[in-house]
Chain A
Amino acid sequence: MAVETGLLNATVTGIVTGSIIALGAIGLALVYDIAEVPNFAHGDMLTFGAYTALLVNKPGSVPVFELLSTGPRQVGTAGGAFLFLVSVVSVLGIVYNLGGRAALEGGWWGIDVPPAVGLGVHGLLALAVGGLVVAGVPSFLSALLFAVVVLGATVPLMESLVFRKFREKDVEVAMMLIASLAVAFILRFGIQTIFGGAIRFYEVDASVPFAGGSLDITLSKFFDFFLAGDGLILSIQETRGAESAKLLVLGYSWIELLAVVAVAAGVGYLAYKRREGTAAVVGPRLAAAFGGLGVVLLGGTLFGGGGSVPEAPLYATRVGASPLRVGVFLLALVMMGGLHYLLRATTLGKAMRATSDNRDLAMVRGINTRRVMMSVWIISGLFAAVAGVLLGFLFSNITINLGFYLLLPMFAGVILGGISVYGAIVGSYVVGLAMEIGIFAIPGLSATYRVPVAFVILLLVLLVKPEGITGGS
C-alpha cells in the first residue's frame, strides 16, 4: 500500500527549494544592501559557477580545455597544471581584491603582522587549495571548491571594472539596474559563446560509504507518517525499482508526543529569555530554535519505540527526501551560520553592518568602505558558486538559463525581506515554500507556474507593505 504524498511533502520540498534560493539571495541582498546594486547579473553568476565546475568534473566536455584533457573525465599534466594555476591565482586574487598588495601582506587581518608572514600564509593557503583541487579531479567536491574560488576572484571584478565606475558618477539606482543588466548579457552570452547551446550535467559518484554500507545520495527515502488512534507512527522505507524495503518503523504515543512538544516549547522559551538582550552570535531566537530542535531530536530518539504500520490510519502522508536534498539544506544552514558568525563576531562583519546602516557615517568613522564593498562582492561570488553548482547537481541539467530562472525567485525573496541579509533568508524560505505549496495546493497548476506563484506572493506583500516584510527604514 503506497501512501500518497501531501502537504508535508510539499513543505519539505519547499524548504529545499528555499535553501537554494536563500544561498543565491544572500549574496544578492548583501550587494543590493551594501553596494547598492540591484544585481541582475546575479542569476548568471550562478550559471557561471555551474559551468566553471565542469572544468574539473568533466574536463573532456569543455571546449578548448578538452585539448588538455586526456579523457572525458581526466586531465593530463598540462590540464592539471592549468587547474592548479587557476586555483592558486584565484585564491590570491580573492585576497588581492580586499585591498591590493597590502591585503596580500596581511593588511586585512586586523592585527599587525610582518608582510612576509602574511604573504607566506596566503601563499600556502593558495597552494593547498590548488593541491586539493587537482588531487580531487574529477570529484564533485573538488569541482565545487574550484568553482567557489574562481567566482570569489572574478565576481568582485564586476565591482571594480563596472559598478564602481558608475557609482563614482553618482548615478541613480535605476541606472545601476540597467548597467547590471548589460553585465548579465555579457556574462550569460559569454558562457554560451564558449560552451554552446548543449545541455550538460555533472557526473557524480552518487554512492558514498555510510555506516558500513554504501548510500546512494540521490535515491529518495520515503518517510510515511500515520496518525492512528494510539499515536503517530513513522515508517521509513527505500524503493529500488519495484520492491520497497522497510528500513525503520518508529511509534510514538500521544502522551510522548505531547510531552516532547511541551518540553521543547519550554526549553525554547527559557533559552529565549536567557539570551534576550545580548548581541552575541547566538541571539535569543537562534538559542530558542536550537533548544527546541534539540529536545525534539532527543525525544524522538528516546521514545522511538517499535511500532507497526496501522491497517486503517486516520491520516497518512508520505514525505520523500534524498540524502542529497537533506545535504543541500544542511549545507545552506552551515553557510548561513558561517555568514552569521562573520557578521556578528568579526570586525569585518561589524564594518559591513555599519556600512549597511549608513555608508557616509561609516566612512567618517574610519571604516574602509571600499574593502567592505569588495568583501561583499566576494561573499556574493562564493555563495553564488555554491548555489549554482548545487542547482546544477540537483536538477542534473545545466543550461544557459539555469541561473536566470532562479533570479526572479531570488529577487522576490530579497524584496520580501526588505533588502537585508536576514530578511533575504526569511524571504527566500517564504518564496520557496510558496512555490512548492502553491503548485501542490492549487489544483490544475502545472510546474510552469512556480515562478509566477512566487511573484504573486511578492505582489500581495508589496500591496500591503511596500517596503517588505522586515524592512521599514
Chain B
Amino acid sequence: MAVADVVISFMVFVSIYAILSYGMNLKYGHTGLLDFGHVGFYLIGAYTSVLFVLGPDDPGDFTAYVIGLGDVPFVGTWIVGIVAGTVLAGIVGGLVALPTIRLREDYLAITVLGISVIFQRIVQAEEWLFNGPDALRGYSPPLKSLFPLEMNTMIGAALFGIITLVIWAAATGLLGRERNHESRFPLAGLYAVTTFGLARLGGEDGSLNDAQVAALAGVVAGVLATVLLTALDPILALGVLLSLYTWFVAGVAIAHLYDGLGRREWLAGIAFGTGFLVALLPVPMADSLAVKSLGTIVLLGALVSAYLYAVRNVAWFDSAKITVVGVASLWFVGIWYFVLPILGPLGNGYVPAALATLFRNVVWVLKFGGDVGTTYAVAFLGELTINVDYSRFILAGFGLFMGALYYVLEVTVQSPFGRVLRAVRNDEDVVMSLGKDPFVYKIQSMVIGSALGGFAGALWAMYAQGLVFTMFAPRITFITLLIMFIGGAGNNKGMILGAAIYWGFQQATSQLAAFFPPAVRVNVLAFRFVVIGLLFLVILYYLPEGLLGREEFGSEVSDE
C-alpha cells in the first residue's frame, strides 16, 4: 500500500473521531458535563443506521437481527439511516440525562459509564437484536459498486466532481485564512483565482464570509471538473492540479505557523525529528527481539531525557518546547512520507522507479496501480495506471461532514445558546439568577452532544462494514476524552487536532508493530496504550488546557 493510502485511511479515522469528540466537547468542554458513557451513543448511532440498510433478515442463515429496512424504497438508504441513528442517539442521550444530570459530576460520570456498558451488554446478550456476540455484517457502504470510478461515464465524472468539491473547498478555505499574512507568494491574487472571482462576494462589505466563499468555490470547481471529465479525459491533469494545490496551501499554512521561529528552534526541531527517526531504527533493522524492544526504548529514553534536560536548562528551548515538538513531528512525517518510500528503489539504482513512487505520493488524490483505470505513459516515470478508489470518496464525504459540522458548531457556540452553555459550565447560580434554568440547557447539551456521537457511530458503521459489540468498549470514551484534552476542552478545532495526533500515533505504532514477530504483537500493541496513558497524564498535568487552549469568545456589551 502506498504511503498516500495509509494517510487517507488515517484521515478517515480522524474525521470520524473528530465528530465523536465534537459531541464530547459540547458536553464537557462547553457545558461541563462529564459523560463517561459517550460510547453508548456512538453504539446507538452505528447499530441504528445499519438496520436501515440491511436487507430483511433471512431466518435460515447464521445471522439474526431485529429488522432490516434495506429493501424499503427511500427509507432503506444510508441518508435515512444516518439521520435516524443521529436522532435516536440524541433522544436516548436526553432520556439518560433526565434522571442523571442532577447528580454530582463524579456520580454522573460513573452512572453514565454504567449505562454505556448496559447498552453494550444488551447488544452482546440479545441475539435476535443485532446478532448477539457475533459480528453484524451483510451491508455495504453507499455507491460502493461504482468504484473504482469509470471516468467516461456521467456518474463517474460527477462523483469525482464531488471529491474535487470537498478538497477544493477545504484548501480554498484554508488559503482564505492565510491570504492576509505576509508571504513570498501573491496569496491574495491566487485566492482570487482559486475562488473563481467569488472572493469579491466576501470581504469587508460583502455578504458572504470566508467559509461560504470557499464552499461556493468548491462547488464551481466540482462542476468544472465534472464537465471537463465528461468532455475530455484529463483525470491525470486534474489529479495533479488538485494535489499540488493542497500541498501548496499546506506549505503556506505551515510556513505561517512557524513564521516567527528562529534558526536555532528550527534546527532543534529537525534534530529531534531526526533523533526520533534514529531511535526507531532498531525496530525494522535489528533481528533479535531484545535489541528491537530494549534498543528502541533506551534510545527513546535518551531522546526524551535530552528533551527534558534542554527544557530545564536552556531558556529559549523552554519557551519553544511545544513548537520544537511540532517542527520535529513535521520533519519526521515529511521524511516518512517523501523520503523513506523512495530509499528502496534508489538504493537499487532504479531512479525512474524512485521518481514514480515520489510522484504517486505527491499526487495523493489519485490511486495508482491495479488492473482497472486509465493508463498513461509519462516521461521519466514510465506507465502509470490511474483510478479513483472508494477510500478517497469516503474521505471526501467524511471530511465534508467534519468541516460542515465544525462550521455549524462554531456558529452554535458563538450564539446566545452557546454563551448560556458556557455560563452553566462556569457558574450555575449566575445562570439561574438570570432566569434561565440550567437543567434545560444541560439536557439540550446532552441531546446535541449525544446526537453527534450517534452521527459518528453511523459513519463508523459505514466505514467498518461490520459491527461487533467489542468495538464499543468503554475504551472508546476514554480515547475521546484523551482527544479532547490533547486539543483543548472547549475548542472545536482542538478536536480535529487531537484526533489527528491520536490517530497519527496509532497508525505509526501499528506500522512499527508489524516489524515484530506475530507472537509478541499483542504485547507491543498493549505497550502503545501504556505510552498513551503516560501522554494523557503529562497533558493533564502540564497542559490542562490542551494544545490549542480554550476558545474564548468575547461578548460585546453595549453601554446603553
Residues of chain A at the chain B interface (Cβ within 8 Å): 38, 162, 165-166, 169, 171-175, 177-179, 181-186, 188-190, 192-194, 196-197, 408, 411-412, 415, 446, 448-449, 451-452, 455-456, 458-459, 462-463, 466
Contacts and interface: CB of A to CB of B under 8 A. Distances in A.
Interface in B89-145: 99-100, 102-107, 109-111, 113-115, 117-118, 121-122, 124-125
Contacts of A446: 125
Contact of A38 (B110, B125, B536): B110
B296 to A, nearest CB: 13
Contact of A177 (B106, B115, B532): B106
A189 B527 contact: yes
B111 A458 contact: yes
Contacts of A196: 520, 522-523, 526
Contact of B114 (A38, A188, A408, A466): A408
A55 to B, nearest CB: 17
Interface stretch (B185-193, B317-325, B493-501, B537-545): B537-545
Given A173-B106, A183-B537, A189-B529, A449 B522 contact: no
Interface residues on B, range: 35 or more
B537 A411 contact: no
Nearest to B527: A193
Contact of A186 (B113, B520, B524, B534): B534
A174 B110 CA distance: 11
B344 interface: no
Interface of B: 34, 36, 99-100, 102-107, 109-111, 113-115, 117-118, 121-122, 124-125, 478, 481, 485, 520, 522-524, 526-530, 532-534, 536-537, 540-541, 544
B509 to A, nearest CB: 12
22 contacts: A38-B109, A165-B541, A174-B105, A175-B540, A178-B485, A179-B540, A182-B533, A183-B533, A188-B529, A190-B530, A193-B523, A197-B526, A408-B114, A411-B114, A451-B114, A452-B117, A452-B122, A455-B114, A459-B100, A462-B99, A462-B103, A462-B107
B523 A192 contact: yes
Given A166-B541, A169-B541, A408-B110, 8 more contacts: A38-B106, A38-B110, A165-B541, A174-B109, A192-B522, A193-B526, A455-B114, A459-B111
A185 B529 CA distance: 7
Nearest to A37: B106
Name the residue in A166, A197, A452 with the highest tally of chain B Cβ atoms < 10 Å from its Cβ.
A452
A462 to B, nearest CB: 6
A194 B293 CA distance: 12
Contact of B536 (A185, A192, A197): A185
Given A452-B118, A455-B118, A173 B530 contact: no
Given A179-B537, A197-B522, A448 B125 contact: yes
Contacts of B117: 408, 451-452, 455
From A183, A193, A466, name the one whose CB has the most chain B CB atoms within 10 angstroms.
Answer: A193
Nearest to A460: B99
Contact of B526 (A165, A192, A463): A192
A466 B536 contact: no
Given A174-B105, A185-B529, A189-B530, A449 B523 contact: no
Nearest to B477: A181
Interface of A is mostly: helix
Nearest to B532: A185
Contacts of B109: 38, 174, 177
Given A165-B541, A178-B485, A185-B532, A448 B478 contact: no
B533 A185 contact: yes
Contact of A189 (B526, B537, B544): B526
A182 B102 contact: no
B527 to A, nearest CB: 4
Of the listed residues B114, B118, B485, the one surrounded by the most CB atoms of chain A closer than 10 A to its CB is B114
Max count, chain B CB within 10 A of own CB: residue among A412, A448, A458: A448
A182 B536 contact: yes
A197 B122 CA distance: 25
Nearest to A188: B529
A174 B106 contact: yes
A448 B117 CA distance: 11
A188 B529 CA distance: 9
B110 A415 contact: yes
Contact of B537 (A182, A449, A451, A462): A182
A177 B540 CA distance: 11
A412 B540 contact: no
A129 to B, nearest CB: 29
A374 B153 CA distance: 73
Given A181-B481, A185-B536, A196-B523, A174 B530 contact: no
Contacts of A415: 107, 110
The 3 closest A-B pairs by CB, nearest first: A185-B533, A192-B526, A189-B529
Contacts of A162: 537
A61 B21 CA distance: 41
B107 A178 contact: no
A466 B107 contact: yes
Nearest to A161: B537
A189 B528 CA distance: 8
Nearest to B293: A193
A411 B110 contact: yes
Contacts of B36: 177
Nearest to A446: B125
A342 to B, nearest CB: 26
Interface centre among A165, A185, A192, A411 (most CB of B within 10 A): A185
A319 B311 CA distance: 66
Contact of B533 (A175, A189, A462, A466): A189
Nearest to B540: A179
Contacts of A172: 105
A466 B110 CA distance: 13
A470 to B, nearest CB: 15
A466 B105 contact: no
Nearest to A175: B540
Contacts of B520: 196
Contacts of A38: 106, 109-110
A310 to B, nearest CB: 39
A193 B530 contact: yes
A339 B34 CA distance: 33
A280 B351 CA distance: 88
B478 A185 contact: yes
A38 B118 CA distance: 21
A448 B121 contact: yes
A243 B534 CA distance: 56
Given A38-B110, A451-B121, A462-B103, A177 B527 contact: no
Nearest to B125: A448
A458 B522 CA distance: 36
A294 B504 CA distance: 65
B101 to A, nearest CB: 11
Contacts of A184: 533
Contacts of B528: 189
A455 B104 CA distance: 17
Contacts of B540: 166, 175, 178-179, 182
B114 A458 contact: yes
Nearest to A38: B106
A194 B520 CA distance: 10
Contact of B99 (A173, A194, A459): A459
